[in-house]
Amino acid sequence: MPKPPSRAATPRPGVELLARLTMLAQELAGAFRPASVIDLVARALAELLKPDRLSVVLLDAESNRLAVTYDTNAAPARTDDPLLQLALRRGPLAFPRDVREEARRRGAELGGEAPGSWIGAPLIAAGRTMGAVSVSSDRAGVLGKAELTLVSLVLAQGAIALENARLVELLSSAKREWEKTVDAISQAICIVDAHGTVRRANRVFAELIQMPVTAIPGRPWLGLLPPAWSDPVARAIAEPSATSTEIRAGERALLLTTIPMAEPGSAVLVFEDQTERRRLQEQLIQSEKMSAIGQLIAGVAHDLNNPLASVVGFSDFLAETGVPASLEEPLQVIRQEAERAATIVKNLLSFARSQEGERARQPIQQLLESTLVLLRNQLMAHKVEATLDVEPGLPEVEVDANQIKQVFVNLINNACQAIASDAPSGRIWITAKRAQDVIAVSVTDSGP
C-alpha cells in the first residue's frame, strides 16, 4: 500500500507554533516602518508554510493605488494578478486543489499555469482593507483550511502592526514637515504648554537662545530665556488674546507676539528681530533730516556768497589803491580767508543741490579733497584724523560729482561713527588706486 503524500508545508503544531507566533508579536512590536512589518510577516509565513510563492500587495494610503511590496519570485507579481485581486476582494479563501476552476467560479480567469493549491487573505485593520497576501504551492492538497487559519492569525497581528507603523510614519512625516516649514520662517518660534514647558521650537529660536534645537523640547521657558524677559513674557502668555510687546537683548530690539492656544496658559511665542528695521527707520529719518539740512544749507550758502564776494572785492580794491606796508599782509590774509570761505560755501552749495544726470570727467583726488573739506569740522569734533592717499597718474573718472560725494560722505561718516562709539580719537585712511580697469576707493578706520 503506497504511503500518503508528505505534508511538509503543514504548520508545526503545539508549542513550536505558539513560540513562533509569540516571536512574531515581539518582532512586530519593534517595527516602526511599514516595509519592516511586511518583511516580518512574509518571513513568518514562509517559515511556517514553506510555500513555492508568496506575494504581498499593499494599498497606498495617499494615492489609493496598489503596489507589490513583497514577492519570493525574482519577477514580482503584477498588481492586477487575478489571484491577488481575488484575495483582496473576496478573501480569505483557500483552494486546496482545482485552483483554476475555483477561481473561475468566483469570476477570476487565470492566465498561464495555475498553482496546485492556493491561499489568499486581505490585510484588514480597523475595518479598513490595507492590502492582501497570496500564498501558493505547486502541489495540490498542501494549502487548505488549517493553513488559512494560520495565515489569518499572522495577518491579524501584521495588520495591527502595519497600521501602527503607518501612524508612526505619518507622525514622523508631519513632524518633518512642521520643522521644515517653521525653520524656513525668519522669526523665532516656540510653543509653550500650560505648565510652562517648551514643546516645540524652530532653529531661529535655537539660534536666539544659543542652544541646539534638539535640546529645547521639554525644558521650561523660564530657564531658556534671559531673566530680563521673564516678566514681559509671563504677562504676554497670561493675556487671553494675541498681544505684542517689545523686549530687548543687549543692543537688539525684538517684538514678542503671543498667540493663545486652546489650553489655558499655553501659547505660541513669536520673536521678531526689529534691530535692522529700527536701523533702517533711523537711516530714513536721518536722510530726511539731511535733505532738510541740504535745503537750509543751499539758502544760507546763497546768502553768504554776496558778503564774501564783497569782502574779496574790497580787499582787491584796497590792495590796488595802496595801503601802508603794515597793512599789506593782514589785507592779504583777509582776501585768502574770504576766498577759502567762498570755496567752502561753493562746496556746500554744490553738495546740497540735487543735480541729476550731470556726469563729467574729473580727477578723483579733487572729489575726495572737496569731500574732506566738507567734513573737516565734523572730523575735528570727533578727534579723528583723516589721511588721503591717491595713487599718482590716475585717469579722470566720469561721474556725477554730487552723487559720488554723497557716497564718500556716507562712507567717511560711517567710519567716523564706528571710531567715535568706542574710542575718544582715531584715524581714517582714504585711498584711491588703480584696480585692473577701474579705480578703487577704500575707507579704512581704526575702530574695531
Q: Is residue 139 part of a domain?
A: yes
* Contacting residues for 141 by C-beta, under 8 A, at least 6 apart: 5, 7, 96, 97, 116, 117
Q: Residue 401 belongs to what domain range?
A: 355-448
| Same domain membership, residue 286 and residue 261 | no
| Same domain membership, residue 313 and residue 214 | no
| Same domain membership, residue 280 and residue 403 | no
* Contacting residues for 338 by C-beta, under 8 A, at least 6 apart: 308, 311, 312, 315
* Sign of the torsion formed by the C-alpha atoms of 396, 397, 400 and 406: negative
| Same domain membership, residue 264 and residue 204 | yes
The number of distinct structural domains making up the chain is 4
Q: What is the pLDDT of residue 193?
A: 92
Average pLDDT, the chain: 83
Over residues 30-47, the pLDDT tens digits come to: 888 888 888 999 999 998
Q: Is residue 268 part of a domain?
A: yes
Q: What is the pLDDT of residue 117?
A: 93
Q: Is residue 152 part of a domain?
A: yes
Q: Is the pLDDT of residue 7 over 60?
A: no
| Same domain membership, residue 256 and residue 154 | no
CATH number at residue 237: 3.30.450.20
* Contacting residues for 133 by C-beta, under 8 A, at least 6 apart: 41, 42, 45, 54, 55, 56, 87, 119, 120, 121, 122, 123, 151, 155
CATH number at residue 386: 3.30.565.10
CA distance linking residue 232 with residue 246, whole number of Å: 9
Q: What is the mean pLDDT of residues 105-111?
A: 88
Q: Of the given ranges (207-216, 282-291, 311-320, 393-402), which has the lowest mean pLDDT? A: 282-291
| Same domain membership, residue 286 and residue 268 | no
Quickly count: other Cβ atoms within 10 Å of residue 116's Cβ: 19
User: Under the phi-then-psi rule, with left for phi > 0, alpha for psi from -120 to 50, and beta for the rest, what region is 211?
Assistant: beta
Residue 415, phi then psi, degrees to nearest 5: -65, -40
Given a contact cutoff of 8 angstroms between Cβ atoms, the answer to whether 92 and 136 are in contact is no
Q: What is the pLDDT of residue 118?
A: 92
Q: Is the pLDDT of residue 138 over 70?
A: yes
Q: Is residue 5 part of a domain?
A: no
| Same domain membership, residue 242 and residue 136 | no
Q: Is the pLDDT of residue 431 over 90?
A: yes
Of 175, 198, 230, the residue at which a domain comes to its end is: 175
Q: What is the pLDDT of residue 5?
A: 45
User: Confidence band (pLDDT; 50, 70, 90) for 441?
Assistant: very high
Assign 3-class secondary structure to the chain.
Answer: CCCCCCCCCCCCCCHHHHHHHHHHHHHHHCCCCHHHHHHHHHHHHHHHHCCCEEEEEEECCCCCCEEEEEECCCCCCCCCCHHHHHHHHHCCEEECCCHHHHHHHCCCCCCCCCCCEEEEEEEEECCEEEEEEEEEECCCCCCCHHHHHHHHHHHHHHHHHHHHHHHHHHHHHHHHHHHHHHHCCCCEEEEECCCCEEEEECHHHHHHHCCCHHHCCCCEHHHCCCHHHHHHHHHHHHCCCCEEEEEEECCEEEEEEEEECCCCCCEEEEEEECHHHHHHHHHHHHHHHHHHHHHHHHHHHHHHHHHHHHHHHHHHHHHHHCCCHHHHHHHHHHHHHHHHHHHHHHHHHHHHCCCCCCEEEECHHHHHHHHHHHCHHHHHHCCEEEEEEECCCCCCEEEEHHHHHHHHHHHHHHHHHHHHCCCCCEEEEEEEEEECCEEEEEEEECCC
Q: Is the pLDDT of residue 345 over 50?
A: yes
Q: Is residue 9 part of a domain?
A: no
Q: What is the pLDDT of residue 92?
A: 92
CATH number at residue 310: 1.10.287
| Same domain membership, residue 150 and residue 128 | yes
| Same domain membership, residue 159 and residue 194 | no
Over residues 259-312, the pLDDT tens digits come to: 998 888 899 999 988 777 777 777 777 777 767 776 777 777 777 777 877 877
Between 383 and 7, where is the model more confident? Answer: 383
Between 353 and 176, where is the model more confident? Answer: 176
Instruction: Please give the C-alpha separations between residue 265 and each of 244, 271, 369, in angstroms, as whole numbers.
Output: 16, 18, 64
CATH number at residue 47: 3.30.450.40
**Residue carrying C-alpha cell 564783497:** 310
Between 198 and 418, where is the model more confident? Answer: 198
Q: What is the mean pLDDT of residues 120-137?
A: 88
| Same domain membership, residue 362 and residue 343 | no
| Same domain membership, residue 35 and residue 162 | yes
Q: Of the given ranges (71-75, 139-143, 266-270, 312-316), which has the lowest mean pLDDT? A: 312-316
Q: Is residue 2 part of a domain?
A: no
Q: Is the pLDDT of residue 433 over 80?
A: yes
| Same domain membership, residue 207 and residue 61 | no
Q: Angle between the 15-29 and 145-183 helix axes, to the nearest 10 degrees?
A: 10
Q: What is the pLDDT of residue 1?
A: 41
Q: What is the pLDDT of residue 3?
A: 43
Of 306, 328, 354, the residue at which a domain comes to its end is: 354
User: Confidence band (pLDDT; 50, 70, 90) for 346?
Assistant: confident
Q: Is residue 424 part of a domain?
A: yes
Of 175, 200, 224, the residue at which a domain comes to its end is: 175
User: Confidence band (pLDDT; 50, 70, 90) for 2?
Assistant: very low
Q: What is the mean pLDDT of residues 435-446?
A: 88
Q: Is residue 10 part of a domain?
A: no
Over residues 158-183, the pLDDT tens digits come to: 888 888 888 888 778 777 777 777 77
Over residues 215-247, the pLDDT tens digits come to: 899 999 988 888 888 888 898 888 888 888 888
Percent of all residues in the chain with a pLDDT value above 70, rounded to a whole number: 93
Between 316 and 272, where is the model more confident? Answer: 272
Q: What is the pLDDT of residue 6?
A: 42
Between 329 and 88, where is the model more confident? Answer: 88
Cell of 50: 514553506
